[in-house]
Structure 1
Amino acid sequence: MREHEAAVRALRQTVADLHTELTRYDLVTWTAGNVSARVPGADLMVIKPSGVSYDDLGPESMVVTDLHGELVEGDFAPSSDTAAHAYVYRHMPEVGGVVHTHSSYATAWAARGEPIPCVLTMIADEFGGDIPVGPFAMIGDDSIGRGIVETLRENRSSAVLMRSHGPFTVGKDARAAVKAAVMLEDVAKTVHFAYQLGTPEPIDRASVDRLHERYQNVYGQ
């Protein structure tokens, strides 16, 4: 742990700051939701504590666990979703950040158990196709994590709608996972509105592939 002290200290600040993005974009209610980040080069992660108000979340309140969810450092119990985050990190080494929210529109799709169809270029850009639904799983052990991994391994999406629960997003780091959560809620809302007007037309697969490739590898600075 000592050799990773600087990285952990920086990630405590980053993860605390990123939780303000969840409230800024209205993705969470009360103390629900969480952001975590993998500690580079170590079998550790930094995650939000359980049941602590967002107003009280600072770097000092973040907790450090191993990748089996066991507390390593911190004054609070880790999030109730820690086992799910830990399972994702153990089985998806390319993932550096995980986010869970109960954002209203994305969670509504999860309640229906229905994928969000790829009918918008933004969905193709960020998620590379339909946003998939994962299985129903109980909270408390790694069942949710197993469902996330099994679903995302079959998709290139950075988001999964866990049935009757809510969305989880992943990214190369915690900021990328938060970005995916923000974009997920935006497209979930827009597609919901589109269905009120009729049945939106899916984008053809070849165009989805081109859009996703451009956004992931060319877009931006």
Structure 2
Amino acid sequence: MAIYQNDQASRQQVVEAIQSLVDQGLTTGSSGNVSVLTNKGMLITPTGILPKDLEPEHIVHMSLDGETDTDQLTPSSEWRMHADVYKNKPGLEAVVHCHSNYATILACAHKSIPAQHYMIAATGSYEIPLAPYATFGSQELSDANLSALQTSMACLLANHGQLATGFNLEGALKLAALVEELAHWHWGALAIGGPKLLSKEQMDDVLVAFASYGQQEKRKDLTDGNRLDK
């Protein structure tokens, strides 16, 4: 059973999440979008409304096949990316997409984020991969995103931004903030000659350590079989 429902409380959490992206400087205007999985589909932010103006009743409930409930606003144009994550990555119940500054700089330069820092392992992987460019809102973009997420819980979207997933909304928001922080560090390291990367063995040690507490067991289950060393 999904931890979120099509109710006022869950809708309020989605509102607060998208507003948090703005407060943290991870997105501007109406460019970001947030969703959570429900038992009968997902709740997702609508298109074209500034986060500061959002109310719980504005959040859209829809099926994972694109059918909105009656009397709903138009969902985010990026709804396919969210729905396809839920269809193909069991256990994940929240998705955050934003155009945070440094992640978007790297995405525009077509650069993934390698193992320059051990916190890369928070994504369950050895890197934060880059999904190839496709038009926003298209099935091609969703397919590219899903392919990148086979090896990580977050990715960069070429010439676009970043996407982070989570077992809950808090986790997805924290991961989006971490992706931006890691992107900032990588941008800075590139400016002074490039980072010295951790070895596969060093990252293996970190991945094992991350898998030994809390919800990281879930992360291990999601990424095993799709690791870059397989």
1:36 partner SS: strand
Within 5 Å, which residues of 2 pair with 1:108-127? 108-127=105-124
Residue number in structure 2 paired with 1:38: 37
Counterparts of 2:212 and 2:15 in 1: how far apart (Å)?
Answer: 29
Within 5 Å, which residues of 2 pair with 1:45-60? 45-60=42-57
Within 5 Å, which residues of 2 pair with 1:113-152? 113-152=110-149
Q: Would you say 1:179 and 2:174 are equivalent positions? A: yes
Quote how far apart the aligned CAs of 1:51 are.
0.6
CA deviations 1:142-182 (Å, max 9, x no partner) are 222211111211x1x21111111111111112221111110
Q: Would you say 1:75 and 2:64 are equivalent positions? A: no
Quote how far apart the aligned CAs of 1:140 are.
2.9
Which of 5, 29, 36 is residue 7 of structure 1 equivalent to? 5
Q: Would you say 1:166 and 2:161 are equivalent positions? A: yes
Counterparts of 1:126 and 1:114 in 2: how far apart (Å)?
Answer: 17
Q: Would you say 1:84 and 2:81 are equivalent positions? A: yes
CA RMSD of aligned residues (A): 1.9
1:35 partner SS: strand
Q: What is the aligned residue count?
A: 212
2:128 partner SS: coil
1:161 partner SS: strand
Quote how far apart the aligned CAs of 1:216 are.
4.0
5+ long unaligned stretches in structure 1: none
Letter in 2 for 1:7: Q
Within 5 Å, which residues of 2 pair with 1:92-103? 92-103=89-100
Letter in 1 for 2:73: F
Quote how far apart the aligned CAs of 1:191 are.
1.4
Letter in 2 for 1:13: Q
Quote how far apart the aligned CAs of 1:87 are.
1.7
Residue number in structure 2 paired with 1:20: 19
Report the identity percentage: 31
CA deviations 1:114-149 (Å, max 9, x no partner) are 111111122233453111011111223322221111
Quote how far apart the aligned CAs of 1:31 are.
0.7
Residue number in structure 1 paired with 2:222: none
1:115 partner SS: coil
Letter in 2 for 1:27: L
Counterparts of 1:172 and 1:74 in 2: how far apart (Å)?
Answer: 29
Stretch deviating more after TM superposition (67-76 or 8-17): 67-76
C-alpha contact (below 8 Å) 2:130/2:157 kept by paired residues: yes
Counterparts of 2:80 and 2:65 in 1: how far apart (Å)?
Answer: 7
- Scaled by the length of structure 1, what TM-score is found? 0.89
CA deviations 1:18-42 (Å, max 9, x no partner) are 1122012101111111110001xx2
Counterparts of 2:34 and 2:73 in 1: how far apart (Å)?
Answer: 15
Residue number in structure 1 paired with 2:219: none
Letter in 1 for 2:178: M
